[in-house]
Structure 1
């Protein structure tokens, strides 16, 4: 059965849903309020250069290969990417650094040289455990259907498979679990940082999040043009399958006069009729009434205390010196516990850990030299998601910039001063993504049940579905794509059920294309 579908928001989840649903023969219109597609993945012009903004790490490439295959296409025909030999470079001071490599044995050797034989053995054990957790959760949870409680997932794993249940370590604290693998606090800090990939505090997260390290160990890819180029590729794929993408147009209301979706109203008053609406945005925006009262009742509200991290992000075109950058670089604070205590208290950290993406290093097959007097960089510091209550005045942003520079300088990296840049604060993210406080990852993964509390594809309002990095299964580029896949799969199932039980209402059968059967990721 062919349906009229409107998708709100052109983030990775919305684009994925649009491509899959259009490939299955549905009448798809994607509406994006900004002038670009990709959501957080976009470009910011600084000093006459396009600096890639938004997420920078591309993992789980197979998710996207399967997406394109399901639509009768090949990923490599839409993007140019190469695997990074160095996953990331890490520094704590100016006395050297530690690289993690695509080759895990090379990483193990580097850790041994950095922190000793016991640390190398700890890394072997950690890597084995992270892989086990990933393999237990990959199909039943990451790629599976949304469950509001652990029980359905336990059935998919195997209710009596106690070994796998215990392997997930949902009730163990991540920071303490890492302490069991690494006596060196620097390594505990390095691998604890993976919790921030889903916007979470490593001191409050379950040990289950160790699986994130394995997703990187499976391969990190560098895309020419960054993640924004991937978004453009999925958008092009969706359009080739018949989807219409309308940018610079905001949806003001989801229309459901009789308890079922009938369409959307745009900010300029235009009405778009629809049988189904997919909201690719933070469910908090729905719950807080961003899209009207009917949609507000469709999902539960989320207290601000449950929000994920936000960030201070500098987009810059600058000269660098004193530290041999690679594409992905992390410069750690000296007191990680205090850093997150300050964030919990609603303050940017006084001595932050700093992530720096040197976009011209290792890109375009050029190796690790900058290749120019200035280079394009994105710098990220974790911050509280309080952009709806705190304005971040100039004196505060200037202080945060000094503190960020101090961390880099302590580790041996100098940035030109003044530095051509733009700065995004939690207040900036709140303006881009209203009703979120600037939270960039939806709900934080704090406590064993947090993952089951993320919004799934189905809502309380008939015909309204959700997708995106703030929904099930988790935050991040591949997870947002998996959410889009899950939304498309759930819609297909619901339409098939409608056809089965109400044949008179759906004449003509289904428009699902056989080429997609069995091909979805």
Structure 2
């Protein structure tokens, strides 16, 4: 057997981090990526010959990557250029209704007071304090280590921490909890949007997701070259540490003999032997049997009703006039409840909230001369290829997107751009139905349904945004960290991956949606 050989399936950020840590530990690591470049969802598309970031655009918890690089003998600052954002985002509802949030807490308080009054500003202060409390409660026992069960989580916090667990309101929806802090429906929309960071509805997601407010308050960073550049930096370091990364290598099956992993088979018939496999693929793809029946039995299916949000995105090179865009700008629809009701029923909203990332804007909103790179995104149901939206439905979505921007005065002039819809996302990420975040975080048990790194199939480990601790770039990176730690601990103890294995202490680190 190839006892120190590891195959990593997928060069998304979780797979790259796992490969980096395992190669640094001295293992023989081969990463197999069916695409032409690293990054997975951290991708760009060419529009008029210019790369436009088409995936995640917000980078928080920089220190997660600082730690990952340092643990592997490198410095993140030597590999990518980072700039802290002074303004977190601009938010708009219609003519004259505009609110910016800032890295400086007091500046945000003042902005909210000017926008909605002193009472709402005080509510924001209390909300931020509670968000910090939620984060502190969950960061150690939940995010840093292996996936806990509810009983495990209670045991980890101890008797003194049970009150903290109760105060973070795990049984209350985010939308309901926001009513304790904000009377202004626009502010409830703004902070309810944090549920969409993990592909969920604020009307069904738990109040614990208010921790996103604390995470953003700790710093948002611009990455020169976009987050796809960050993925390349991790891939480059992994290669320097000895990992082999093969692009255009599509895995057809996880090979299993006598109840344990022995390697992977590529679609061209090549067998790559290894007794440890890290699958950086959506668990829905594994559960659907796309990597073989043995892996499917070990993971279990994800039903369509459990899927997170998908999206319709438009990547453009256009001239933006009539509204002062910042790097991150959100244009809210008039009726948030109706928007998510439509998505829940499998329809595209008729008045969607639109996120626009103006990728050439400076922190103060200064624009470049000429067309600028723009990513426009609206949330959509994950109907995938089973029930694809018709061309007329997608065209109508583009029209409603344009109408929502025009409500605040924004006009985009230029070619239509490149549209990606849920069926396209399923093509990019098979087995998901186009869901971009794994399971939706609906209900207090949702986080405990995400599998951990270890599986019931000896030799198979999981990493990615669909596993613990959750979606988002830092969370996915942390999952790769946990997968590598679990694998190394099992090698040291002389055992294979299995849920029946004793729990193992994990190295530090945290993340965020």
- The residue number in structure 1 matching 2:391 is 394
Give the SS at the match of 1:180: coil
In structure 2, what is the Cα distance between the partners aligned to 1:25 and 1:154? 36
2:4 matched to which residue of 1? Answer: 3
Conserved 8 A contact 1:98-1:114:
yes
Instruction: Name the SS of the counterpart of 1:443 in structure 2.
Output: coil
Distance in 1 of aligned mates of 2:263 and 2:369: 50
| Distance in 2 between residues matched to 1:42 and 1:174, nearest whole Å | 30
Matches within 5 A, 1:255-334: 255-334=255-334
Q: Which residue of 2 aligns with 1:144?
A: 145
Q: Aligned runs of 1:51-450 on 2, under 5 Å? A: 51-147=52-148, 149-362=149-362, 367-416=364-413, 419-450=415-446
2:474 corresponds to which of 456, 472, 478: 478
Partner Cα separation in structure 1 for residue 314 and residue 159 of structure 2? 47
- 1:510 is matched with which residue? none
In 2: Cα distance, 1:490 partner to 1:20 partner: 11
1:210-231, CA deviations, whole angstroms, 9 ceiling, x for partnerless residues? Answer: 0111111110000011110110
Partners of 1:313 and 1:260 in 2: CA distance: 41
Distance 1:443 1:388, change over 3 A: same
> What's the CA shift string for 1:403-445, capped at 9, x where partnerless?
00010000111111x5341000000001111111000000000
Shift of the 197–499 alpha-carbon distance from structure 1 to 2, 3 Å rule, reads: closer
CA offsets 1:47-85 (integer angstroms, 9 cap, x no match): 121111100000011110000001000000110010001
Residues 13 and 482, structure 1, Cα contact 8 Å, conserved in 2: yes
Q: CA 1:491/1:286 → structure 2, altered by over 3 Å: closer, same or farther? A: same
Partner Cα distance (1:362, 1:233) in 2? 23
Partner of 2:265: helix, strand, or coil?
strand
Q: Secondary structure at 1:51's aligned position in 2?
A: strand
SS at match of 1:261: strand
Instruction: Classify the secondary structure of the residue corresponding to 1:256.
Output: strand
Distance in 1 (alpha carbons) for counterparts of 2:311 and 2:351:
14
Q: For structure 1, which runs of at least 5 residues remain unmatched after alignment?
A: 501-516
1:11-50 aligned within 5 A: 11-50=12-51
Counterpart Cα distance in 1 of 2:389 and 2:74: 45
Distance (whole Å) between structure 2 residues aligned to residue 304 and residue 132 of structure 1:
34
Q: What is the CA-CA distance between 1:117 and the residue it aligns to?
A: 0.1
Does residue 498 in structure 1 map to residue 467 in structure 2? no
Q: Is the 8 A contact 2:485 2:507 kept in 1?
A: no
The runs of at least 4 consecutive aligned structure 1 residues that moved more than 3 Å come to 517-521
For 2:36, what is the secondary structure of its paired residue? coil
Per-residue deviation, residues 269-319 of structure 1 (Å, max 9, x unmatched) = 111000100110110101101011111111021111010000001011011
Q: Deviations over 1:352-406 (max 9, x none)?
A: 000000000127xxx5222121000101100000013222222111111000001
1:176-230 Cα deviation digits (max 9, x unpaired): 1001100000000000000000000000011011011111111000001111011
The answer for the alignment partner of 1:504 in structure 2 is: none
CA distance in 2, matches of 1:314, 1:36: 21
**What CA distance in whole angstroms lies between the structure 2 residues aligned with 1:101 and 1:519?**
29
TM superposition shift of 1:519 = 7.5
Tell me the distance in 2 between the aligned counterparts of 1:331 and 1:426. 21
Contact 1:36/1:247 (8 A) holds in 2:
yes
Contact persistence 2:174–2:210 (CA under 8 A): yes
Deviations 1:78-132 (A, max 9, x none): 1001000100000000214100000011001000000000000000000000000
Whether the 8 Å CA contact 2:144–2:508 is kept in 1: the answer is no
State the match for 2:499 in structure 1: none
Does structure 2 conserve the Cα–Cα contact (< 8 Å) formed by 1:251 and 1:265?
A: yes
Cα distance in 1 for partners of 2:97, 2:304 equals 40
Asked whether the equivalents of residues 351 and 400 of structure 2 are also in contact (C-alpha less than 8 Å), the reply is: yes
Match of 1:513 in 2: none
**2:263–2:276: 8 Å Cα contact kept in structure 1?**
yes
RMSD across aligned positions (CA): 1.5
Distance, in Å, in 1 between the alignment partners of 2:374 and 2:428 is 21
Query: Are the aligned partners of 2:478 and 2:509 in contact in 1 as well (CA < 8 Å)?
Result: no
Q: Is the 8 A contact 2:278 2:460 kept in 1?
A: yes
TM-score, normalization: structure 2? 0.95
